[in-house]
Amino acid sequence: MIPQTVINTTVISSTPSASHMRVLVHCKSVPRFRSYSSTPLKPHSAPFPARTHNCGVLTAADVGSRVVLTGWLLPERKGGKLLSFYPLQDSFGTTQLVVNHSSDRSSLSDIPTESAVLIEGTVVARPQAARRPGPTGDIDVHVDRHILLNPADANLPFFPLSGRTLPNDELRARFRYLDLRRPSLSSNLRTRSRVSHLVRNSLHELDFTEVETPVLLRSSPEGAREFLVPTRLATAVDEPRFFALPQSPQQPKQLLICSGGVDKYFQIAKCFRDEDGRKDRQPEFTQIDLEMAFVSWGKASESTDGWRIGGGEVRTVVEMLVKKIWKEVLDIQLETTFRVMTYSEAMKRYGSDKPDTRFGLEIVDVTRFLPSDVRSALEAEDQVLECIPVRQSMESELMHAARKCEFSSPVRRVVFTEKNASQWLAGTAGQDDSVNQELGLQAGDVLWTCISPKTPSGGSTLLGQVRLQMSELAQASGRLVLDAQPHFLWITEFPLFTRADGDKEFLAQGRWSSSHHPFTAPMWEDIAAMYAGDIAQASLVAVCGHATLIARSGAGAALRSGLEWDR
């Protein structure tokens, strides 16, 4: 229950949806949020009995039982002059209460919506025609007595069950305790708990040891800025000292595994990254972190799907976990093994290191079709010309989005016509017209083109962003409905080193820095180049596997085991 003083706020009232009414009541009247007198109600201050059931478990088998329920009172629905219906909700579900005004000595009608109450009553069966789907859809509870445990303010900022009229995120975050009463959010919390329990049980069965690692650490270079925590301790010259919150448990878990004390480690770890807010990034998040000692390195002889990075044992564990979670929590049977794609292929085909493969619009390198002088100029700059063809015949659901999508230079949009069929590629004559046949172009097709670096870097390219924007526009307009079945995909062989991006520039100062983290091992075939000091070759690939479903779902890396490599 929420203290009364916490929820004294201005009113932004709303009414529940009609669909919600149909599920909960068997009367024709429209629910209303009630008006109350200005006299404040006082919470109950005497002993009261313990509840016998929660609001989501009563069934027809309980008819005739005396029960004690607790929860939050939802809006009244009139069933005539003598009857009123009240949904009572707790974190487990909703039970409908029936109040007979002719026999009930104290009415619930004076109690504000969302107040915490205790109900004593008898379980009765609903008429056959009034029964509804759901755990408690076959019964009602006739109220004999009620106790007001804690009254809500008469003027709440919003009502959690009013799904169609929810306020903006800022107001909901301000009154988070009220927003968390929404069934969808409480269901998410229970699902998260089930997943954590399932992960722990599954990994314990595989002899993993759960270890909590320190949260206050020394700063180390990883993928983003760190949050710094000041401490009262100072250096000898009275300089302030700071701890860094971990971006991942990388340092302590490496020490743990190298110590030999634990062979297989895991934890459900808190991570902190000082990054700009995005759909797939939060400053604080939780990840399933695991580590295994003495895993294989290099391409497995039995691997036929492009997995060349070693650590096949880790892949097996991660895929097992994901499949078990999707099956036992969501009742979705995933494919036997997940697809594998290299970072280079993902960036060239989809323009993203976490590609959405549920729709087409793949990027095509058309450099070879350019006039020879233009092609030579691009090759001298180590660049290529790429395009995304949006064909009316094949991608009609995306054609509208292709025409609405807006991007500035160097991205260019061209509508293919008979007039520009021989020069759309470079804007001048001399192109190889076989490009039109290879792409299957017809008049009216839309082409997005862009000059890009030959070797992709970072998390996305400009055409990759165009591709996603077209998909989002098409989905928003209802023209594109993506496959609901998850498409899991391992992305492997990420760059070992990259030039620092904006987030890390202040640390790296223009130098090469680890793309993933400093402990990641290079590809086994690049060891010779690394010893020879051939940075151009050795920095191109790394051992790092990612599984993606729009956002990244899992990540792993084979790690170095020798100090000489660090040098």
- pLDDT of res. 218: 87
Instruction: Count CB atoms within 10 A of the CB of residue 489.
Output: 20
pLDDT at 425 (0 to 100):
82
Tokens in use for 340?
A: 């594998």
- Of 137, 160, 181, which closes a domain? 181
The verdict on residue 436 lying in a domain is yes
Reduced to 3 states, what is the DSSP secondary structure of residue 283?
Answer: coil
Q: What is the pLDDT of residue 25?
A: 34
* Of 251 and 118, the one with more pLDDT: 118
Give the model's confidence band at 422: pLDDT under 50 very low, under 70 low, under 90 confident, else very high. Answer: confident
Model confidence at 200, pLDDT cuts 50, 70, 90, reads very high
Residue whose token pair is 């989005």: 401
- The token pair at 98 is 């029936």
Question: At 374, which CATH number?
Answer: 3.30.1360
Distance CA 456, CA 462 (A): 11
Q: Where does a domain end: 426, 458, 482?
A: 482
CA dist., res. 114 & res. 75, Å (int): 8
Residues 160 and 33 in one domain: yes
Domain of 36 in residue numbering reads as 4-181
Who wins on pLDDT, 516 or 332?
Answer: 332
CATH number, domain containing residue 62: 2.40.50.140
Residue 201 confidence (pLDDT) above 90: yes
The answer on 396 and 349 residing in a single domain is: no
Residue 157 and residue 15 share a domain: yes
pLDDT confidence of 53, banded at 50, 70, 90?
very high
Q: If pLDDT is split at 50, 70 and 90, which confidence band does 336 have?
A: confident
Q: 362-402: per-residue pLDDT in tens?
A: 999 999 998 888 899 999 999 999 999 988 765 566 777 77
Distance, CA of 4 to CA of 148 (rounded, Å) = 12
- Beta strands at 284-292 and 228-234: parallel, antiparallel or unpaired: unpaired
Distance of alpha carbon 107 from the chain centroid: 45
Are 429 and 284 found together in one domain? no
In this prediction, residue 510 carries a pLDDT of: 58
The domain that holds 240 is classified in CATH as: 3.30.930.10
Task: Note whether 150 and 4 are within 8 A (CB).
Answer: yes
- CA atoms of 283 and 272, how far apart (whole Å): 6
Place of tokens 């404040």: 40
Contact between 337 and 305 under an 8 Å Cβ cutoff? The reply is: yes
Say whether both 536 and 432 belong to one domain: no
How far apart CA 84 and CA 108 sit, in angstroms, is 9
Phi, psi torsion values for 201, nearest 5 degrees: -60, -45
Give pLDDT, residue 14: 34
- Nearest CA to 75 out of 171, 193, 160, 201 is that of 160
Residues 262-277: pLDDT tens digits?
A: 999 999 999 999 887 7
Mean of all residue pLDDT scores within the chain = 80
* Together in a domain, 26 and 164: yes
Residues 381 and 506 in one domain: no
- Write the single-letter amino acid at 318: V
pLDDT digits (tens, 9 = 90+) for 96-119: 999 987 765 557 888 999 999 999
Structure tokens at 300: 């497995």
Please tell me whether residues 442 and 490 are part of one structural domain: no
Domain assignment present for 523: yes
Q: What is the DSSP string of 27-44?
A: S-SPP-PPP--SSPPPPP
Do residues 351 and 377 share a domain?
no
> HEC string of 462-485?
HHHHHHHHHHHHHHHCCCCCCCCC
Has residue 153 been placed in a domain?
yes
Q: Are 64 and 122 in contact (CB under 8 A)?
A: yes
Q: Clarify whether residues 351 and 409 are in a common domain.
A: no
Same domain membership, residue 155 and residue 15: yes
> Within this chain, do residues 438 and 512 fall inside the same structural domain, yes or no?
no
| Residue 144 identity | D
CA-CA distance, 306 to 291, in Å (whole number)?
23
Closest alpha carbon to 322 in 134, 4, 556? 556
Mean pLDDT comparison of 207-216, 280-289, 294-303, 390-399, highest-scoring range: 207-216
For the chain, how many structural domains are there in total? 4
The tens digit of pLDDT for each residue in 122-178 reads: 999 999 988 998 899 999 999 999 999 999 998 889 888 756 678 898 999 999 999
